[in-house]
Chains A and B, each alone.
Chain A
Amino acid sequence: MSGFFKRVFICAVGATLILPFLIVAGVSVNVESNIAFPPTELSTRWYAVLLTESDWLIPIRNSLLIAVFAAFLSVTIALAANYVLWRLKSGFGKVIFALGIGPFMLPPIIIAMGASVFWAEIGMYGRVEATVISHGVFFVTLPLVVIARGFAALSDDVIEASRTMGATAWQTFAKVIFPLVLPYVITGYALVAIISVNEYLISYMISGFAVETLPIRIFNNVRYGYTPVVASAAMGFAVLTIGVLLILSLFTDLLKLLGGAQD
């Protein structure tokens, strides 16, 4: 009886989380130019609009560009912070690590507001570099935590072995540590890239009018009258996000990474 109730509850939760996207998928392949479900006739015309019109291509390009560089910046900061914490164990390393956790404790609006006045003051309001740096710094928490798991998994004997064989600190890092933490670095990179592509408020407040990203484009569309192109863009997003996570799950153990049981 209790088992039955559990099953009903969990299926209802799963269905509620997935249902909106099924409807969006239906809308995106409908031939009609008003939002309607169920589709009367199937067509890919909205996807064609999404991938050919510059109204949509420019935001897509902006979003991808920002994500690629912001994720790189984020991962370099996280890797350096973790290396320092691992070498020094306490004090200085811990301060840096705590600073990296900070951005996730605060509501994004506060961070976005701060970034907005900061970039305006130094004359970089509306520049794509501003969005890249802010995304890179604010999302550092994810790779920081993920890469920390990589460093925690390093065993002392490998490091000891490389040291007794005469490797310098740099050689130990490049030949031993880096390859061992690389899967975690890639996971961190992918997570920042996905979150950056999807982020709205910070990009909007830093350079919303000059650098239109895909979420900004979608939001403006929904607010001021929309066509099913938005649905196809939303589906594109969902597929991209799930796709990247599925690829990640092939070469890292996601359950273990999130702290779940291993068996």
Chain B
Amino acid sequence: MNRPLIPHLIGLYPLVMMCLFFLGPLAFMVVVSFYERDPLGFYNVAFVWDNYAKFFSSFYYTLSMRSLWSASLGAVLVVLLAFPAMYIIVDMSRRWQLFWVILLLSLMCLSEVVIGFAWVILMSESAGIPRFLGWLGLWEDPRSLSPSFGAMLIGLVSLGFSLVALMFYPQMAGRDRSIEEAALTLGTPPARVFTKVILPNFRPAIISSTVTMFVYFLGVFVMPTMLGRPQDWNMTVIITDKAVGDANMPLGAALSVIMLVFTLLIIGTLLAASRKRGKA
């Protein structure tokens, strides 16, 4: 019985590819985060904690707080909008469901750059909402609405909406409707059924998708740079700026490692919590 040998050999291909080009670069990034910066080139081999020490300054403290705030606010908003939207969409006819799924899939695949650009135009004084309001006479002196914190937040929500809606889709479409129907037949108002039956049933899904969106929004680059002001920029923008703009790879790597550890902690906590609930 040498049968299992061949599948193992085939398995080497994906294994090697993932280790070499996914885990390998991450491990090497950890190594580089201890290197010294070389102002003339990329870096010198060394073992220093300087890059991490830089993180503990007031600039990075403010930056971290700001990144956490915009990511959590965006995550809560997008789930608040996408959950009820999906609840309505799964009850539509098949034709309309397909329309929504294609719309959401298109938005999910569409470049951040393109979505961001579309919002820049929509909020510009020459082509968008300000011009329309000025034309209606509702706004005396129309000015561009972006860049601003609000514009950035709208950008984040429109970016994450498709993803989170498609995450809710399978569970929402395949849910057991017997309890809601029982509640409705017994004369419970639909709004009460939603808050008392559907929301508690979906609590784990809502929590996990909020966390997923939070992690996702921590890593966005295009929306803050296109729609936000420099004082709205998050950690991702600064990492890119340090690594590509200043060619300071070790500092960029160290900041990424901090973000990686933070992300893994969050995912780990979430997994542990869901396992605990599974046992209980």
Contacts and interface: CB of A to CB of B under 8 A. Distances in A.
The answer to whether A and B belong to the same complex is: yes
A24 B100 CA distance: 21
Contact of B240 (A24, A93, A201): A201
A13 B101 contact: no
Interface stretch (A150-158, A178-186, A253-261): A253-261
Contacts, number: 272
A259 B4 contact: no
A196 B48 CA distance: 36
A9, A17, A37, A81: which has the most chain B beta carbons within 10 Å? A17
B17 interface: yes
B10 A83 contact: yes
A161 interface: no
Interface stretch (B51-59, B81-89, B197-205, B272-280): B81-89
Which of A18, A76, A116, A254 has most B Cβ within 10 Å? A116
A99 B18 contact: yes
A24 B118 contact: yes
Nearest to B101: A254
Given A23-B128, A215-B113, A133 B21 contact: yes
A167 B100 CA distance: 44
A29 interface: no
B194 to A, nearest CB: 9
Chain A interface secondary structure, helix, strand, loop or mixed? helix
A78 B13 CA distance: 10
A121 B25 CA distance: 10
A201 B24 CA distance: 19
Interface string B118-147: 111110101110010000000000000000
B15 interface: yes
Interface residues of A, number: 92
Contact of B174 (A107, A242, A254, A261): A261
Interface in A61-80: 76-78, 80
A18 B215 CA distance: 26
Given A96-B15, A114-B26, A37 B106 contact: no
B102 A113 contact: no
Main secondary structure of the interface of B (DSSP, over half): helix
A215 B11 contact: no
Nearest to B239: A109
Nearest to A216: B113
Interface in A184-240: 191, 194-195, 197-201, 204-205, 208, 215, 218-219, 222-223, 230-231, 234, 237-238
A113 B239 contact: yes
A118 B85 contact: no
Given A134-B21, A258-B101, A261-B90, A16 B158 contact: yes
Nearest to B218: A107
Given A116-B243, A260-B97, A107 B26 contact: no
A41 to B, nearest CB: 15
Contacts of A118: 21, 24-25, 28-29
Contact of A249 (B102, B162, B240): B102
Interface string A127-140: 00000011001101
B236 A255 contact: no
Nearest to B191: A2
Contact of B117 (A19, A108, A234, A260): A234
Contacts of A134: 21
Interface in A90-104: 92-93, 95-96, 99-100, 102-103
B126 A36 contact: yes
A60 to B, nearest CB: 13
B256 A260 contact: no
Interface in B186-243: 190-191, 215-216, 218-219, 221-222, 225-226, 236, 239-240, 243
B179 interface: no
B166 interface: yes
B244 A83 contact: no
Contacts of A111: 22, 25-26
Given A80-B14, A100-B14, A191-B109, 18 more contacts: A10-B88, A18-B103, A34-B126, A35-B121, A37-B121, A77-B17, A77-B18, A83-B7, A116-B249, A169-B3, A198-B113, A200-B113, A208-B244, A234-B114, A241-B110, A249-B102, A259-B173, A260-B90
5 contacts: A9-B85, A14-B103, A114-B25, A255-B94, A260-B169
